Amino acid sequence: MARPEQVLLLEPQHELRFRGDISLWQNKFSPFTDVVTTTLKLANPTDRSVCFKVKTTAPRRYCVRPNSGVIDAGTSINVSVMLQPFDYDPNEKSKHKFMVQSLLAPPDMTDTEGVWKDAKPEDLMDSKLRCVFEMPAENEKTHEMESNKISSSLSKSESSTLSMKSMPSSLDDGEVKKIMEECKRLQMEVQRLREENKQIREDDGLRMRKSTVMSAPHSSPAVRVKEEGLSARVIALIVLFFVVGVIVGKLAL
């Protein structure tokens, strides 16, 4: 008697694919020297609970979690199939197979194992899947190598930028403190000279308004002295601004 059609919906339906590690392959190692996991989704579209078991022809090569259980009506479950590390042999890729076995659970089920023991062959449903070991394609290998080169270049660029940014922090703390104090002192001196220059201009303006045309010859020597003092202060301001600019330039570097 033919077995009934599988009621569970499998995803994927026919193949379980295990993809090798491209980095190991590039370094001339077996691409399956680490655990490779793929997921098998089992969905129950019926209005009854369904018992299931997942079996394989190579039980030592795979770890299946969960490998059995009950799927309630209208729900699904994800089964993790983990390929254990091994030395890859291309001749083995068509030998490993999986089978998903299922049966409808009775309404009064209390013991799952008992249900499987009492099940008749015509009640069992099964689906078979073959295992496929995927090797990274040559173009993917080239693309990965280019990506690694780009990542390496970006890392070097970032490292160089960080080194340049961290240069000011390499200065001695005492040295930085002295420079900052000197800069502060020069700023205060500049401010004082600005105030003196402002006061001189106000005094000169007042004196010029009070002076008459007749007294201009007598006051000209005093005016020249004030002008000379003003010019000296302007020169001092220029020098101070230059010194401040040099110190600020050193701090920026």
78-135: pLDDT as tens digits: 999 999 998 877 666 568 899 999 999 998 888 899 999 999 999 999 999 999 988 7
Listing DSSP states for the chain in one string gives: -PPPPP-SEEESSSEEEEEPPHHHHHTTS-TTSS-EEEEEEEE--SSS-EEEEEEES-TTTEEEESSEEEE-TT-EEEEEEEEPP----GGGTTT-EEEEEEEEPPTT---HHHHHHH--GGG-EEEEEEEEEEPPPHHHHHHHHHHHHHHHHHHHHHHHHHHHHTSGGGS-HHHHHHHHHHHHHHHHHHHHHHHHHHHHHHHHHHHHHH--STTHHHHHHHHHHHHHHHHHHHHHHHHHHHHHHHHHHHHH-
For the beta carbon of residue 211, count every other beta carbon within 10 angstroms: 15
pLDDT of 25 > 60? The answer is: no
Please tell me which residue, 240 or 63, carries the higher pLDDT value.
Answer: 63
pTM over 0.85: no
Task: Quote the pLDDT of residue 116.
Answer: 94
Please tell me which residue, 109 or 13, carries the higher pLDDT value.
Answer: 13
Q: What tokens does 175 get? A: 């040295």
**pLDDT tens digits for range 178-235:** 777 777 777 787 778 778 777 777 776 666 666 654 554 554 555 454 555 556 666 7
User: Percent of the chain scored above 70 by pLDDT?
Assistant: 59
Q: Which of 110-119, 157-166, 170-179 has the lowest mean pLDDT?
A: 157-166
CA angle 92, 98, 103 (to 5 degrees): 170
